[in-house]
Amino acid sequence: MGLATSPANAGSAKVSDDLTRLALRACLIARDAAFNVRDLVTNSSRMAFLAIKDCEQELDILERQIDERMPAAITRVSESRARQLLSSLKCTTDLERIGDLVMSVALRVQARTEKIPVSDARHLVEMSEVLREMLQLIYQGFSTLDLECARKVLQMDKEIDRICHELFQKYLARSLPQGPSEFQILLMAQALERAGDHSTNLAEELYSLIEGRSLRHVPKKKAN
């Protein structure tokens, strides 16, 4: 039988668990925002636009809730739980930014007067689907502390970069000047690519939580 838990410690643990659950919920909301990009881009769906807008607003609320409750919570827990809480805070910041970036795509689609060309829509949908899968893996990884999920996400970011590069090359290689419509498409691709970068931040945070060391700003080894 373990040691009895005091009411104060039990209350602190509950607050810690609540904040962790909020961060996991934020991950699912960001994933849902990415999921709705397909219908928005291919069908200019009003429902998809509203769903993305709701996701963005809910992510703002969750980030604010976690930010407001974090200072009191982190002073009442053990070092290991404090590390978990800090991870939740960092992740929610990245997830809120992903929501903003997906919303910027939605606003650009909504403002268009003509449909996105099929080829461009395909590229944007592919990027959004990779992003959705990355966020699903992040949720799974933080739920089960599975390091393999982090590794997969770091690899998948290369796919988003590749698709974005392909779309940019398509327009930059043209001799005709780019109009506002083409420029908006490139901005959408750039937003999704940046959302992928924030997802890699989440994967690195998961790695840090599990391994106890960060992948960020690690100096590259010099060749002998």
Q: Is the pTM of this model over 0.85?
A: yes
Sort 151 into a burial class: Cβ within 10 Å, 0-12 / 13-18 / 19+.
middle
Q: What is the dihedral of CA 211, 213, 216, 218, to 10 degrees?
A: -120
Which among 14-23, 64-73, 123-132 has the top mean pLDDT? Answer: 123-132
In order of start, what are the domains of the chain with their CATH numbers?
A: 12-211 (1.20.58.220)
Radius of gyration of the chain (CA): 20
How confident is the model over 162-183, as pLDDT tens digits?
A: 999 999 998 887 755 467 788 8
Query: Interior CA angle at 201 toward 89 and 188, to 5°?
Result: 110
In what helix (H) or strand (E) does residue 20 lie, and over which residues does it extend?
Answer: helix 7-35
pLDDT at 38 over 60: yes
Contacting residues for 172 by C-beta, under 8 A, at least 6 apart: none
What whole-number percentage of the chain has pLDDT above 70? 86
pLDDT band at 8 (very low <50, low <70, confident <90, very high): very low
pLDDT at 10 over 70: no
Mean pLDDT, rounded, for 194-202: 97
* pLDDT at site 214: 65
Among 14, 145, 136, 137, smallest CA distance to 69 is for: 14
Mean pLDDT, rounded, for 76-81: 84
Mean pLDDT of the residues in the chain: 88
Query: Interior CA angle at 69 toward 68 and 73, to 5°?
Result: 145
